[in-house]
């Protein structure tokens, strides 16, 4: 019985690790950068500079810097968008919409 419990626990732990690694993959998100740009223009442009050279406010970082700074860890961005903090309250995005915004942010990062 003990070995069965240990095996079950190890299988669960391995599954959780695989899921976390998949969520924080450095490859492009499974989203549409174009759809993400439209969403960003709709939901984010009142505070963020969504497009390089576009209007900006001092209160929030430009999307281009988020693409560079956080684009290497899309899991962080997904977690932030799934549970937004003030002043981003009231934004209720689907997983697909989050993936689209992450894809747009990653499209802004310079090629390496």
Angle at 24 between CA 61 and CA 105, to 5 degrees: 30
Q: Which CATH number characterizes residue 47's domain? A: 1.10.760
The pair of three-digit structure tokens given for residue 5, joined into one six-digit string: 């419990």
Domain extent, residue 77, equals 2-108
The count of domains in the chain is 1
Query: What's the rounded Cα separation, in Å, for the pair 34 and 40?
Result: 10
CA-closest candidate to residue 101, choices 27, 23, 44: 44
What does each C-alpha distance from 48 to 16, 39, 44 come to in angstroms?
A: 34, 12, 6
The pair of three-digit structure tokens given for residue 6, joined into one six-digit string: 């240990």
Q: What letter would DSSP give residue 62?
A: -
pLDDT at position 110 over 80: no
Q: 4-45 pLDDT, tens per residue?
A: 554 555 444 544 444 444 444 444 458 999 999 999 999 888
């Amino acid at each position: 019985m003990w070995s069965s419990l240990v095996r079950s626990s190890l299988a669960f732990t391995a599954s959780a690790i695989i899921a976390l690694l998949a969520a924080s993959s450095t490859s492009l998100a499974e989203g549409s950068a174009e759809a993400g740009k439209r969403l960003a223009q709709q939901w984010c442009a009142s505070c963020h500079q969504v497009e390089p050279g576009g209007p900006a406010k001092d209160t929030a970082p430009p999307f281009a810097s988020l693409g560079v700074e956080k684009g290497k860890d899309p899991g962080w961005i997904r977690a932030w968008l799934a549970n937004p903090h003030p002043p981003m309250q009231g934004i209720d995005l689907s997983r697909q919409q989050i993936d689209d915004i992450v894809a747009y942010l990653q499209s802004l990062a310079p090629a390496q």
